[in-house]
Structure formats: C-alpha cells, structure tokens
C-alpha cells in the first residue's frame, strides 16, 4: 500500500507520495493536468537546465545576499541540483508539458525537489522551496532561462557535433569519387554529365551552410532572462544578480551566456527560439533532399537507377525474400517532416506573447528540444548505417552517361542548338546513338563528331 506524507502550500495541505521529493504544488499540478502523463513529460533537458540555474542562483545569492543565503543553504542547494543534473532524481519530476503556459509548476517542482533533497542531505530543515531555492527568481524569468540554456546546449553539444561527423563522411566520399563521371539530372530528367564527387560536394556544402546558420541563429540564445523576475523589472532580486548569475552559468556550462539587456523582451518574446528553430528546419530540409537523392540513386537493385549501393541493414519485406530497403534514408525523411511540423508549433507559440509574458513556453520547449534531439540522433544513425557505406557503381554510372541523350549539349557550339535538338530527337525515336543520328542528318562527319564529342570534358 502506497504511503503518503502531508505537504502544504499557500492554498493548504496536500497528500504527497512519501517516497518522492516533490511537494504540494507539484502534486496539485500532477492531479490537475492528467494530459499526456507518462508520454509527454517536461523534457529532461529543461529539468537539467533548471537544476543548473538554481545552483548558479544560489551562488549569486550567496555573494549578494549572504545574510539570507548562508554557506550551508548554498551547499545543500548545489548538492541536490547536481544530483538532478546527473539524472539521479529523474523519477521525482512527474509533470507534463501540458500545464500552465509559464511553466510555473515545473519551476516549483524543481524548487520542491531541491528543498526536500537538500534538507535530507543537510540533515536539517534548512531550505524552503520559495524563500531559498527560488530566491531572487520568478517562474517568469527562470523558465525562459532554462529554455535558452537547454536549447543552446542542445545545438552546441548535440546537433552541431553530429552534423560535423556527417559532413566529414561526405568530405571523404567526395574525395574518393572525384574522378567518377555520371549523368546529371534536373527535373528528374537526364541532364549533362557531372562527377559524382561534384554531386556529393553539393550535399556537403549544404550541411556546412546549415552549420553556419545554426551557429548564427544560436548566438542570441546565450542571452538569459534570469534577473527579470515577475514582469522584467527585477523586483526582489538584488542589484547585479542578473549579470553575476549569467557569468556563473557561462563558467559552469562552457557556453558564453550573458544577461539579456532588456528583460521585458526576454520574458515576453520567443523570437530567438523561432530563429534558431528555423535553422534546424533548414537542416531538416537539406537532410530530406540528401536522403532522397541517396535512396533514388540506390533504387533497384536491377530496375531502378542503381548508380550507388548502400548498406543492407535488415530484411525489407515480410513477403518478398531478399528485398532490402533504404530504411536509414526513410528515418531521416520522417524526422525531417517532424521537424518541419515542430517549426509551425514553435512559430505559433512565439506569436502568443501577451503584455509582459508569453504563456506558451512548455510547448515551445517540447517541440524545439524534440527537433534538436531527433536531428542529432537521426544524423548519427544515418552517418553510421548508411553514408559511410555508400559505394559508387562505376560501371552503371558509365553506362548511363554513355546512353544519355543530353550529351548532345556538347555539340551546341559546333552545330547549334536546333540541329543538336534534331540529333537528340532522331536518336531517341530510332533508338540509335547520337553519333549515328548526327551523321545521318548530315550535320557532322564521323571524324568531326569524334573531335567535338568529349563527355568527360563536360564536367
């Protein structure tokens, strides 16, 4: 039989599971928002970010308000917060995304867990969740701060490293295939020749540009709302708390965070999140294109393009023996679609700021962090299980180049566009070579054709 203890808040007493560190406000939220329970919890990244900022706030308060934040209190807060950061107390954060739009209850969830666990560590009732753990803070400035901390860390420590590893694999593939001539394609139709290394360079350059966009868009996330408290005025926070807490967070995270100069903006606007997620969407769009190129180039194995082979990772059909599908390409394209959908949610959430606060913070956090997490994991899997194993089918590429009617473009400077078009048309209708068609039409001799016709020079 489950055991309970009694906790209280400003509204009265509440029964809380005895083996959990959360308190009355967390329990009220847990009961009032049975929406997505167990399926859509507040992201772990947000909880860890909250723990980081609570520890930093305690350090700043220790310096600025030593009469209230004693060394013993500061130590207990930091010890409990560190356990949260390490993931040791994850079972003590039951709240869902679908709660108050300011994220107040998740802020209080962290405050209550740190207070109760900190008191346990200290062996005395030192900490109050509001008076001590939440000192100089409000949910209205801590949740935007946690959001920026988590988002910046997700970009810099997850997305960008995975993106660079994938890009490096493409660099190697590009170098290995620099001499391989193949048919180019535009509008899904045959086009003039291209080297496979050049085609890959387009993929590689796209990802390099995406990395630039993410770095640029991620820079404003380093501005923190902490110190604005309830409405941006900094009420109940000591002078210098905002700058000092940001400096501590920069020191502890290794990311150069700084305080937002205008806290009224920081509390009500999510424009930085929109811009940063837009860069993630750009990456998703390029990944969609690259994954589609790869699976189409690998289509077959006999009746498709078949110009490359990719790793066979698992059986592709429950009924067709021997079938192997481009499943890694498919997961990438599904992730891309999810990220594009998330971008709409982030944009809508950002548009809903009213007066001094935006109350769509949890849904913005949920979608942004899901996008970052999915992209990082998707790229890592795609790189390991597909891209590194791509091999050019040089024979098939050569065959396709030699059969392409668009090689006739090489004749434009010699016989002109209209005669070249007639040559291509005759070759296609009669199933003969370009040379045979050109000679038959009397546009060039065999020797003249051979002199003008060099597909390898077209790339």
Catalytically active residues are 187, 317
Question: Is the distance from CB of 284 to CB of 344 less than 8 angstroms?
Answer: no
Determine the 3-state secondary structure of 445 from DSSP: coil
Q: E-strand spans in 225-352?
A: 258-259, 308-309
Report the candidate in 83, 86, 56 with the shortest Cα–Cα distance to residue 69. 56
Q: How far apart are CA 412 and CA 120, in angstroms?
A: 84
Q: CA of 24: how far to CAs of 218, 304, 430, in Å?
A: 37, 63, 83
Strand partners, 117: none
* Count of beta carbons in the 10 Å neighbourhood of residue 434: 24
The answer for residues whose C-beta is within 8 angstroms of residue 74's C-beta and 6 or more apart is 58, 59, 61, 62
Of 216, 197, 226, residue with least CA distance to 50: 226
Could you tell me the sign of the dihedral formed by the alpha carbons of 96, 226, 73, 6, in that order?
negative
* CA nearest neighbour of 199 among 170, 238, 167: 170
- Residues 6+ positions from 121 with CB-CB distance below 8 Å: 76, 79, 80
**Contact between residue 200 and residue 167 where contact means Cβ atoms under 8 Å apart:** no
| Those residues with Cβ within 8 angstroms of residue 329's Cβ, 6 or more apart along the chain or in another chain | 291, 292, 294, 295, 310, 382, 386
């Amino acid at each position: 039989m489950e055991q309970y203890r009694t906790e209280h808040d400003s509204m009265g007493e509440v029964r809380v599971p005895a083996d959990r560190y959360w308190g009355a406000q967390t329990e009220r939220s847990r009961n009032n928002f049975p929406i997505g329970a167990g399926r859509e919890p507040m992201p772990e990244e947000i909880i860890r970010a909250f723990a980081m900022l609570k520890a930093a706030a305690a350090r700043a308060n220790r310096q600025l308000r030593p009469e209230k934040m004693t060394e013993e209190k500061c130590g207990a807060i930091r010890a409990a917060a560190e356990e949260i950061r390490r993931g040791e107390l994850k079972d003590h954060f039951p709240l869902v995304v679908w709660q108050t739009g300011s994220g107040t209850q998740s802020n209080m969830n962290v405050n209550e867990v740190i207070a109760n666990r900190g008191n346990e560590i200290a062996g005395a009732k030192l900490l109050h969740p509001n008076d001590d753990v939440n000192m100089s803070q409000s949910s209205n400035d801590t949740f935007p701060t946690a959001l920026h901390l988590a988002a910046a860390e997700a970009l810099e420590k997850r997305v960008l490293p995975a993106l660079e590893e994938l890009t490096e694999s493409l660099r190697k593939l590009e170098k290995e295939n620099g001499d391989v001539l193949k048919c180019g394609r535009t509008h899904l139709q045959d086009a003039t020749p291209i080297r496979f290394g050049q085609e890959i360079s387009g993929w590689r350059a796209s990802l390099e540009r995406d990395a630039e966009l993410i770095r640029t868009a991620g820079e404003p996330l380093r501005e923190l709302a902490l110190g604005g408290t309830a409405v941006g005025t900094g009420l109940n926070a000591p002078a210098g708390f905002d700058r000092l807490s940001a400096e501590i967070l920069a020191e502890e995270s290794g990311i150069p965070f700084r305080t937002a100069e205008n806290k009224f903006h920081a509390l009500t606007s999510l424009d930085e999140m929109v811009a940063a997620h837009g860069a993630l969407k750009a990456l998703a769009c390029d990944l969609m294109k690259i994954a589609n190129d790869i699976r189409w180039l690998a289509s077959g194995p006999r009746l498709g393009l078949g110009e490359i082979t990719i790793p066979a990772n698992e059986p592709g059909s429950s009924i067709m023996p021997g079938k192997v599908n481009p499943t890694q390409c498919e997961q990438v394209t599904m992730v891309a679609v999810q990220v594009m959908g998330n971008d709409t949610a982030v944009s809508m959430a950002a548009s809903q700021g009213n007066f001094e606060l935006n109350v769509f913070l949890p849904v913005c956090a949920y979608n942004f962090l899901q996008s970052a997490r999915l992209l990082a994991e998707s790229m890592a899997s795609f790189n390991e299980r597909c891209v590194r194993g791509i091999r050019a089918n040089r024979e098939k590429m050569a065959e396709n180049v030699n059969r392409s009617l668009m090689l006739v473009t090489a004749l434009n400077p010699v016989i002109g566009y209209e005669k070249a078009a007639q040559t291509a048309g005759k070759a296609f209708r009669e199933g003969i070579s370009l040379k045979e068609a050109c000679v038959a039409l009397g546009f060039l001799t065999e020797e003249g054709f051979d002199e003008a016709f060099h597909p390898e020079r077209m790339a």
